[in-house]
Amino acid sequence: MRILTGVQPSGKLHLGNYFSVIRKLVDYQNRSDLFCFVADLHALTSFSNRENQSNNTFDAVCDFLALGIDPDKCTFWVQSDLPEVTELSWYLSMSITVSQLQLAHSFKDKVAKGINPSGGLFIYPVLMAADILAFNSDKVPVGKDQKQHLEYARDIAEKFNAQYGETFKLPEPEIDEETAIVPGVDGAKMSKSYGNTINFFDDEKKLKKSVMGIVTDSAGIDDAKDPDKSIIYSIHSLFLDAKSRQQLREKFTTPGTGYGDLKKNLLNDILEYFAPQRKERERIANDPAYVIETMKKGAAKAKEVASHTLETVRDRLGIGIENRISSVRGAAGKNQ
Ligand code: ADP
Ligand code: TRP
């Protein structure tokens, strides 16, 4: 079973990214064929400057390694190090119409906000389809917001197969209902673009500020609190097993504990949970030579698979020197 996913390096990783996707990857690499990459080309759709683009990509690689992604157990690379995928995205763009792409939520949202979207944002789903189809992925773990992008990938694969002959497997999304939408400190979906994230690799001071900023109702220490309406509980429960969740629920429903203390408990659990990874992150970031070497090896490993797919696709389309030569020879043969 081949599992593939990508994460944009457009800022620090947050609990939404971690609990919906990243946590599972470490498990997958031990029991499946995991392909995982840093989607720096997709991040170009929100480019700010050269330094941020390259630093964010380096940081994302360090984050993944620190969180337990092991390049010996999976294939881990940076998207832009593999030009095969961008080439494939051009071929795939013939298998989708402009009117279909106009229906993409990510595109429509920008238009609704009055932003004049770039061509890159418009074809974002095609590049994502290429990411997935280049590696013949069976399953793609993502958050709920990516569901439509997976539908595009399937539609494109189906249409390509119908037009040019059976080539691609149809990938299945994997979306966990429990962690489909992790709330941010304001209760909306936790997202870099909403500025409501809790970034577990932030320094302790910043992390504390984020957790203490979680919005609550006005219940005081002496009031019972409803865990099911609390953002603190929704986030904290992600860290806990069934028994500890029950204990936390009791803390909410029994008067005597204020929101301040409930937030402090959450902060302590975040720090404790991520302590080994935070330490490892520091070590890795101080060894850029290792990070670069890992990226080079990862790209070479990914290339073996993607170039094989590309060969098949070029052959189906009659693209490339070898295919041109064989067609010309075929025609010459017929004329003799
Ligand atoms: P962001 O919305 O912060 O920009 P990304 O788009 O980089 O996050 O998301 C990376 C992965 O994490 C995607 O699979 C996405 O669906 C998932 N994800 C992001 N935010 C959340 C969230 N709040 N809850 C669940 N999954 C999320
Ligand atoms: N669009 C995804 C996101 O914003 C990132 C991504 C790019 C991706 N290519 C992918 C996810 C392929 C899964 C598979 O989160």
147-173 pLDDT, tens digit each: 999 999 999 999 999 999 999 999 999
Reduce the DSSP state of residue 105 to 3 states and report it.
helix
User: How far, in Å, CA of 184 to CA of 186, rounded?
Assistant: 5
Measured CA to CA, the distance from residue 96 to residue 292 in angstroms comes to 36
278 has pLDDT over 80? yes
For the full predicted model, state whether its pTM sits above 0.85: yes
Residue with CA at minimum distance from ligand 2 atom 11: 6
How high is the mean pLDDT of the chain?
Answer: 94
2-180+288-332 CATH: 3.40.50.620
pLDDT at site 202: 95
Stretch 98-113: mean pLDDT: 93
Q: How far is the CA of 145 from the centre of ligand 1 (A)?
A: 7
Domain residue ranges of the chain, discontinuous segments joined by +: 2-180+288-332, 200-285
Give residue-wise pLDDT tens across range 123-134: 999 999 999 999
| Residue 321: pLDDT band with limits 50, 70, 90 | confident
Sign, CA dihedral 9-32-83-97, equals negative
Across residues 211-224, what is the average pLDDT? 95
What pLDDT score does 303 carry? 98
Q: What is the DSSP letter of 187?
A: S
Output the residue whose Cα is nearest ligand 1's atom 14: 142
Per-residue confidence at 335, pLDDT binned at 50, 70, 90? Answer: low
Residue 191 annotated in ligand binding? yes
Return the H-helix or E-strand segment holding 327. helix 321-335
Tokens of 326: 């064989």
**pLDDT exceeds cutoff 90 at 178:** no
pLDDT in tens, 285-312: 999 999 999 999 999 999 999 999 999 9
Q: Which residues of 28-48 are buried (b: 16+ CB within 10 A; e: fewer)?
A: bbeeebbbbbbbbbbbbbeee
User: Average pLDDT of 6-19?
Assistant: 88
Question: What percentage of the chain exceeds 70 in pLDDT?
Answer: 98
Check the annotation: does 144 bind a ligand: yes
> What pLDDT, in 10s, does the model give residues 38-90?
999 999 998 889 999 999 999 999 999 999 999 999 999 999 999 999 999 99
Q: Which ligand is nearest to the CA of 188?
A: 1
Confidence of residue 176 (pLDDT cuts 50, 70, 90): confident
Instruction: Look up residue 11 and give its amino acid.
Output: G
pLDDT the model gives residue 28? 95
**Residue nearest atom 4 in ligand 2 by C-alpha distance:** 8
Q: Could you tell me the CA-to-CA distances from 107 to 92, 96, 114, 205 in Å, in that order?
A: 19, 15, 11, 36
Backbone dihedral angles phi then psi of residue 201, each to the nearest 5 degrees? -100, 5
Query: What radius of gyration do the chain's Cα atoms show?
Result: 23
* CATH classification (class only), 200-285: mainly alpha
Name the E strands within the chain: 2-7, 33-38, 75-78, 139-141, 172-174
The answer to whether the Cα torsion of 232, 236, 238, 241 is positive or negative is negative
Is the fold of 2-180+288-332 the same as that of 200-285? no
Record the tokens describing residue 212, joined without a space.
């203490």
